[in-house]
Amino acid sequence: MELMQTLRSRRSVRVFDGTPVDRAVLEEIIAVAALAPSRMNRQPWFFHVATGDARRRVAEVMAMTTSYLDEYMDVLGPEGVERAARFYAELGHAPVVIGVATPKTEDRFETRDFAISVGASVENLLLAAADHGLGTCVLSVPHWVADQLTNVFEIDPEWEIVSLIVLGYADETPRPQEREAEVAVFLE
Ligand SMILES: Cc1cc2nc3c(=O)[nH]c(=O)nc-3n(C[C@H](O)[C@H](O)[C@H](O)COP(=O)(O)O)c2cc1C
């Protein structure tokens, strides 16, 4: 697929058919994620790729979020909360879940630039996956299970988990989400 077409057609996928993903494909996707630009080429990202039993342990931790989701009742409504709880607990039957980690830092400029760098690498990963015919969805790391996820993914104590990505072959065709029409101003 051409890059522009991949950029335009990528959608977040939340229902997967469970088919395993080849290790070689996962390795290529991660390698491409690591080609993203970063502040002073610090490459402040590390990908913890969980399949099989490790993936099951992540799902067990994410299932613990269910009892906290009531906080979001006002925003999501009862149906939305139930859908979110099910998605978190089952990870949409995705065979792969990736924990994304970044170095801990107190420096506010580093914090900002690390976030942009990690975001760039995550987007590379999503697009590389799409190019392989794979669906993905980025998940916020619920703060209430961050410690448990850190343990399951065996993240270095100097690093912190900042994102989760579920990945697999899609079993749904998500509708495009609305986008703001005006997102830029052109100055001369
Ligand atoms: C940082 C980040 C956090 C996200 N967290 C969640 C999440 O917790 N649950 C979820 O279902 N989708 C999550 N998403 C996916 C967004 O909802 C999705 O990207 C957005 O609605 C636009 O839809 P699209 O990706 O299909 O274009 C997240 C995306 C990003 C980039």
Q: Does residue 111 have its Cβ closer than 6 Å to ligand 1?
A: no
C-alpha distances out from residue 134 to 13, 89, 153, 154, 171, Å:
9, 21, 22, 25, 10
Between the CA of 92 and the centroid of ligand 1 the distance, in Å, is 14
> Quick one: which of 156, 135, 166 has its CA closest to 58?
166
Percent of the chain with pLDDT over 70: 99
Number of domains in the chain: 1
- pLDDT value at position 1? 58
- pLDDT value at position 73? 81
Domain coverage including residue 128: 3-168
Distance CA 1, CA 97 (A): 24
Q: What does the pLDDT look like over 112-158, one tens digit per residue? A: 999 999 999 999 999 999 999 999 999 998 888 999 999 999 999 99
- pLDDT value at position 134? 98
pTM recorded for the entire structure: 0.95
- pLDDT value at position 34? 98
Residue 153 sits in a domain of what CATH number?
Answer: 3.40.109.10
Domain assignment present for residue 124? The answer is yes
C-alpha distances out from residue 131 to 28, 31, 111, 128, 149, Å:
11, 14, 30, 5, 28
As a whole number, mean pLDDT of residues 37-61 equals: 97
Domain assignment present for residue 173? The answer is no
Q: What does the pLDDT look like over 62-108, one tens digit per residue? A: 998 777 777 778 888 888 888 888 999 999 999 999 999 999 999 99
Domain assignment present for residue 179? The answer is no
Q: Does residue 83 have its Cβ closer than 6 Å to ligand 1?
A: no
What mean pLDDT, rounded, does the chain reach?
95
Q: Does residue 81 have its Cβ closer than 6 Å to ligand 1?
A: no
| Residue with CA at minimum distance from ligand 1 atom 31 | 138
Domain assignment present for residue 177? The answer is no
Domain assignment present for residue 39? The answer is yes
Tell me the torsion sign for CA atoms 89, 170, 8, 46: positive
Domain assignment present for residue 96? The answer is yes
Between the CA of 138 and the centroid of ligand 1 the distance, in Å, is 6
Domain assignment present for residue 64? The answer is yes
Instruction: Please say if the pLDDT value at position 60 is more than 90.
Output: yes
Q: Does residue 11 have its Cβ closer than 6 Å to ligand 1?
A: yes
Instruction: Please say if the pLDDT value at position 14 is more than 80.
Output: yes
- pLDDT value at position 3? 94
Q: Does residue 125 have its Cβ closer than 6 Å to ligand 1?
A: no
Domain assignment present for residue 175? The answer is no
| Residue with CA at minimum distance from ligand 1 atom 13 | 139
